């Protein structure tokens, strides 16, 4: 079958309302007013665009194109971004999505998981990004979610958050019809691979920040890095919450019967990458603890040095203060008050005592 390629369609207010050329031109010039990003039917790995999602479903299920000459099945791929309950309920009726899974996809804030409702697999992953929320502010780990409804002849992806876009994943798959002809499992693998690659990039960026903090802590210059260390500790914990729980669902996904053997090999590769990221995140978390302890120890040592210097100078200045206080009492009978050289003698005694204390403190390392 020849491949039909057109520009990705943008959704209208209804998922089942045909769009005309004039409307498409107007919509391109204004913000998107629905959650649907793109949809298409895929036959033998090639994209076949339709006016509506319903047309794509009918093409696959009722158009006699569910199976190609070589036996590979066609499917529909619908991509959504932060859909409303009404928009997702329309798709739920068409694809037979379970209400509990639909509710999770609407409200988000789910742990990574893999659940099965009848013949539909519901897969949840956390997406991560290392972004700068305000100009001049340090970068922070920001999380989102991708929910995937995977059936025999359809894939529905629901994305929450400002990062983790899937347009590039769709374009890359459409350039490889042989992979896309393997069915919805190929889409599932491509998305998991994209998400785990995002983990790798964020983990590397966090690792670079930790290395910079480590150098600053052990540098000769005295800096206060405690706030930076605590911030990185918080970012690492946020990253662990996204990366850690995904290992179990990803391992279970490789054992599902709807996943072809070719895709299982690729899923094992994704699992290996995830394991490496988990180990990297764990090492970052473990490294921050001794860095913080070393920094606090340096702060304590520096404070002790400051206190010793203050104490030493206080002891030195105590000598002239004590002598001046005694002679300031204005008694009639004070030693050497009537002697011509009494005043220079007292000043000499003060200078000699201060110099002796200074040399003693200097010799002991207090000054």
The reply to whether 154 and 275 lie within a common domain is yes
Distance from C-alpha of 118 to C-alpha of 35, rounded to nearest angstrom: 26
The reply to whether 329 and 280 lie within a common domain is no
pLDDT the model gives residue 270: 92
pLDDT the model gives residue 148: 93
Distance from C-alpha of 191 to C-alpha of 144, rounded to nearest angstrom: 14
Domain boundary among 275, 295, 315: 295
Residue 15 lies inside a defined structural domain of this protein: no
The reply to whether 267 and 343 lie within a common domain is no
Residue 248 lies inside a defined structural domain of this protein: yes
Say if residue 337's pLDDT is above 80: no
Say if residue 296's pLDDT is above 80: no
The reply to whether 247 and 345 lie within a common domain is no
pLDDT digits (tens, 9 = 90+) for 124-163: 999 998 888 777 778 888 889 999 999 888 999 999 988 7
pLDDT the model gives residue 310: 79
Say if residue 176's pLDDT is above 60: yes
In the chain, the number of structural domains is: 2
Distance from C-alpha of 261 to C-alpha of 44, rounded to nearest angstrom: 18
Residue 209 lies inside a defined structural domain of this protein: yes
Select the more confidently predicted residue: 111 or 26.
111
Helix (H, G, I), strand (E, B) or coil at 138: coil
pTM of this structure: 0.73
> For residue 203, what are its two tokens?
């983990």
Question: What distances in angstroms separate CA 44 from CA 54, 58, 74, 268, 346, one per listed residue?
Answer: 20, 16, 6, 25, 106
- The gap between the terminal CA atoms of the chain, to the nearest Å, is 87
The reply to whether 229 and 347 lie within a common domain is no
Q: What is the mean pLDDT of the chain?
A: 80
CATH at residue 273: 3.30.460.20
Residue 105 exposed, middle or buried by CB count within 10 Å (0-12, 13-18, 19+) = buried
Q: Please give the full DSSP string across 230-249, using - where no structure is assigned.
A: HHHHHHHHHHHHHHGGGHHH
CATH at residue 350: 1.20.58
User: Cβ neighbours of residue 122 under 8 Å, at least 6 residues apart?
Assistant: 98, 101, 104, 113, 114, 115, 116, 147, 148, 149, 150
Residue 232 lies inside a defined structural domain of this protein: yes
- Residue 197: pLDDT band (50, 70, 90) is very high
Select the more confidently predicted residue: 106 or 15.
106
Domain boundary among 295, 329, 344: 295
The reply to whether 150 and 83 lie within a common domain is yes
pLDDT the model gives residue 192: 93
**Percentage of the residues of the chain whose pLDDT score is greater than 90:** 24
Residue 28 lies inside a defined structural domain of this protein: yes
pLDDT the model gives residue 71: 42
Domain boundary among 257, 273, 295: 295
- Residue 107: pLDDT band (50, 70, 90) is confident
Residue 194 lies inside a defined structural domain of this protein: yes
pLDDT the model gives residue 346: 77
pLDDT the model gives residue 2: 35
Angle between helical axes of 85-95 and 99-107 (0-180°, round to 10)? 150
Residue 138 lies inside a defined structural domain of this protein: yes
Say if residue 113's pLDDT is above 50: yes
> For residue 62, what are its two tokens?
């009722």
The reply to whether 313 and 277 lie within a common domain is no
What is the DSSP-derived secondary structure letter of residue 73? B
Residue 253 lies inside a defined structural domain of this protein: yes
- Residue 336: pLDDT band (50, 70, 90) is low
- Residue 196: pLDDT band (50, 70, 90) is very high
Say if residue 5's pLDDT is above 60: no
Q: Which helix (H) or strand (E) holds 199?
A: helix 184-217
Select the more confidently predicted residue: 26 or 301.
301
The reply to whether 198 and 89 lie within a common domain is yes
User: From the CA atom positions of the chain, what is the Rg in Å?
Assistant: 35
The reply to whether 358 and 251 lie within a common domain is no
What is the domain range of residue 321? 303-363
The reply to whether 289 and 311 lie within a common domain is no
Q: Which helix (H) or strand (E) holds 145?
A: strand 140-150
The reply to whether 333 and 242 lie within a common domain is no
pLDDT digits (tens, 9 = 90+) for 29-88: 334 456 788 889 999 889 998 888 888 888 888 764 544 344 446 899 999 998 888 888
For residues 104-128, give the mean pLDDT.
89
The reply to whether 131 and 244 lie within a common domain is yes
């Amino acid at each position: 079958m020849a491949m039909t390629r057109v520009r990705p369609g943008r959704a209208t207010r209804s998922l089942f309302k045909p769009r005309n050329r004039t409307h498409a031109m107007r919509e391109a010039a204004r913000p998107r007013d629905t959650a649907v990003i793109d949809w298409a039917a895929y036959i033998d790995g090639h994209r076949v665009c339709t006016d509506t999602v319903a047309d794509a479903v009918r093409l696959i299920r009722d158009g006699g194109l569910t199976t190609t000459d070589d036996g590979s099945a066609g499917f529909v791929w619908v991509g959504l971004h932060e859909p409303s309950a009404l928009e997702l309920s329309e798709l739920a009726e068409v694809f037979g999505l379970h209400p509990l899974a639909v509710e999770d996809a609407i409200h988000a804030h789910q742990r990574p998981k893999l659940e099965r409702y009848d013949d539909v697999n519901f897969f949840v992953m956390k997406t991560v990004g290392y972004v700068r929320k305000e100009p001049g502010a340090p970068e922070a780990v920001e999380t989102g979610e991708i929910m995937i409804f995977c059936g025999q002849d359809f894939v529905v992806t629901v994305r929450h958050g400002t990062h983790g876009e899937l347009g590039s994943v769709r374009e890359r798959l459409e350039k490889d019809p042989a992979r896309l002809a393997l069915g919805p499992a190929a889409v599932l693998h491509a998305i998991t691979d994209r998400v785990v690659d995002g983990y790798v990039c964020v983990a590397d960026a966090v690792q670079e920040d930790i290395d910079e903090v480590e150098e600053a802590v052990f540098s000769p210059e005295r800096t206060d890095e405690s706030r930076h260390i605590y911030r990185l500790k918080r970012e690492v914990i946020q990253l662990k919450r996204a990366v850690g729980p995904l290992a179990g669902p990803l391992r279970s996904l490789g054992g599902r019967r709807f996943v072809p053997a070719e895709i299982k090999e690729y899923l094992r590769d994704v699992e290996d990458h995830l394991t490496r990221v988990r180990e990297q995140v764990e090492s970052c978390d473990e490294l921050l603890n001794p860095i913080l302890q070393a920094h606090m120890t340096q702060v304590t040592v520096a404070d002790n040095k400051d206190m010793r210097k203050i104490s030493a100078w206080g002891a030195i200045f105590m000598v002239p203060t004590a002598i001046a206080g005694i002679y300031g009492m204005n008694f009639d009978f004070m030693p050497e008050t009537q002697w011509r050289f009494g005043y220079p003698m007292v000043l000499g005694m003060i200078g000699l005592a201060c110099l002796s204390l200074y040399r003693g403190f200097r010799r002991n390392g207090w000054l």
